Amino acid sequence: MKREAVFHTAKDNMCYQLNGDEIYIALMTGKDIKTVDIQWGDPFDSGIMGGAEKWSGKTEKMTEVLELENHFWWSIKVVPPYKRCMYYFTLSDGEEKVFYFEDGFYTEAGLGVQGRRMQCFCFPWMNSADLFETPDWVQDAVWYQIFPERFARDGGAKRGIKPWKHEEIKGVNFSLRYGGNLRGVINRLEYLHDLGINAIYFNPIFKSLSDHKYNTDNYYEIDDDFGTKEDFKELCDKAHSLGIRIMLDMVMNHSSFFFEPFVDVVKHGESSKYKDWFMINKFPVTLDRNTRDGRYYSFAFVQYMPKLNTNNPEVMEYFARVCEYWTSQFRVDGLRFDVANEVSHEFLKLIRRRVKAVNPDIYLLAEIWHDSTPWLRGDKFDAIMNYSLREAVSDFWLDEQQTTKQLEQRLNRCLTMYPEQSLRVMFNLLDSHDTERLYHRCGHDEDKFFQQLTLLFTLFGSPCIYYGTEIMMDGGHDPDCRRCMPWDEIDSGDHDEIIAQVKTLIKARKETPELKSLDMKFIDSGNNRQIKYIKDGSVLVAANADDAPMELEYRDVIFSRGLENGVLKRGGCAICRV
């Protein structure tokens, strides 16, 4: 038995409260393991611990198994009658049986040693205050990301503003302006509603000199480029009347060097009352070059994005009030935190307490590109931007040597990384303002484009499309992924066929509850490139990236491309009831 491949810890994604009654428990083993049982029960079933009593618990088979690249992931949900749970595992590889406790492995003979006390795993008490709760509405959300400067413009061209034109954007130019604004968004809310969108994620809208607004000058003001607070209030009210939620982008890892406290530090140096609001190592502060010399810390060595000291109680309080302001005054439904992995955990805990007190149903989302376990323990964020899932899906089509089995293993990894409460509200995306566009990454292959969208809309979590995805908009890496929306083409019907297909996918997502389920079983995965999985036992999702035709059995077709008489051709994709 490969004991070195066996692992469990009684916390995080391997042991947690699902709700007021259930505890989720998972064990990771090597692929040599054939069966796993769990012995669980109340720690005091046989008396108070420490005496001569012998505790055994009741035995249940762990039958839920997911295959990862090098491991099996076994899981079970138990309902402790007295809110506490003690447990250990029995593993068999068909030849050897061992017992796995917190303090190691034991054989049957080892368990019988007189006086030996094995250390069981333990979930001490299911405290309601510790339960990780996420907003239910996000499970039903279909997100649409808007980069405000390029989505839509209301009004004519002004001085310094380029004519609105869908064109390739070459080279970094943060002063480039096409004039997108909030009133332009207001004018297109009916379009988004008709598309099926019920949640909008806005890139930053606060006062800033750049086009992207990720270097904030004033956290309490809408940028003049975009409009006024009255415009934003009207946008929120109209969106809400259409059943569309609003999420704002909050940049609290760094500010701009025109943020008043930083201006004060540049002016007054060490005597500034704000000097500890930032991470400054050398005075006076100079702004003429990048920060690789360490004179002060900034985002990605960019001198005009000085890093905020989120360990400072004054900074924590200031930004807690900022979040409370936009949450209470404009009834925003979500806050997305930029570079969330670099700010202090204490700061994030405070933010969650404060904004959840204003709106318990608000969605708190983190931009984190790596394993985010420390941020998803119920005291900071509800979910992350799910780049792990994006890479799993994208890589399958980028690397034609990958098999369906490998895709299954990578998607299963995504399913096991975090608590179910968070998985259900993950923010799933295939492109964004930070990446090349999906159609570009697909090599302008329409079949690959729709195959990946089909997976996006049928996996756990909440799907997000970047503005223009519904017309298969092209665009390379930043800044080219931030082109203007071609409204003249859309309004003239040039993209109706593609839009209709995307609308069908969105409709399928919203009207087929099984697609939101965490229950996903791959069928016939192996060394082929034919994807086929069943959601919640009743909905088939298929995509054929293989040369061979793919035969499907189904009752009704919900969405399809390339499906004829039960055969899915290469490049085809389908969602069907079985």
Q: Which residues are catalytic?
A: 338, 367
- Phi, psi angles (nearest 5°) of residue 104: 130, -165
- Coil, helix or strand at residue 156: coil
C-alpha torsion angle, residues 220, 226, 231, 237 (rounded to 10)? -90
Burial of 207 (0-12, 13-18, 19+ CB in 10 A): buried
Q: How far is CA 219 from CA 209, 254, 268, 326, in A?
A: 13, 12, 22, 10
**Closest C-alpha among 26, 53, 28, 226 to residue 123:** 26
Rg (CA), the chain: 26
Q: How far is CA 167 from CA 41, 170, 479, 480, 481, in A?
A: 64, 9, 12, 9, 11
Instruction: Identify the residue whose tokens are 């298969």.
Output: 472
C-alpha dihedral sign at 385, 387, 392, 396: positive
- Tokens standing for 497? 């066929």
- Phi, psi angles (nearest 5°) of residue 201: -105, 115
Burial of 291 (0-12, 13-18, 19+ CB in 10 A): buried
Measured distance CA(209)–CA(228) in Å, rounded: 16
| The pairing of beta strand 363-366 with beta strand 334-337 | parallel
**Closest C-alpha among 215, 299, 218 to residue 261:** 218
Contact 207, 199 (CB under 8 A): no
- Coil, helix or strand at residue 426: coil
C-alpha dihedral sign at 338, 340, 343, 348: positive
Q: How far is CA 78 from the centre of its chain?
A: 27
Cis peptide before 479 (omega within 30 of 0): yes
- Phi, psi angles (nearest 5°) of residue 349: -65, -40
**Closest C-alpha among 522, 493, 486, 325 to residue 407:** 522
β-strand partners of 76: 25
**Closest C-alpha among 145, 563, 561, 37 to residue 365:** 145
Q: If you write DSSP's letter for every residue of 216-260 in order, what string do you get?
A: -SEEEEE-TTT--HHHHHHHHHHHHHTT-EEEEEE--SB--TTSH
- Tokens standing for 236? 């929120």
Burial of 107 (0-12, 13-18, 19+ CB in 10 A): exposed
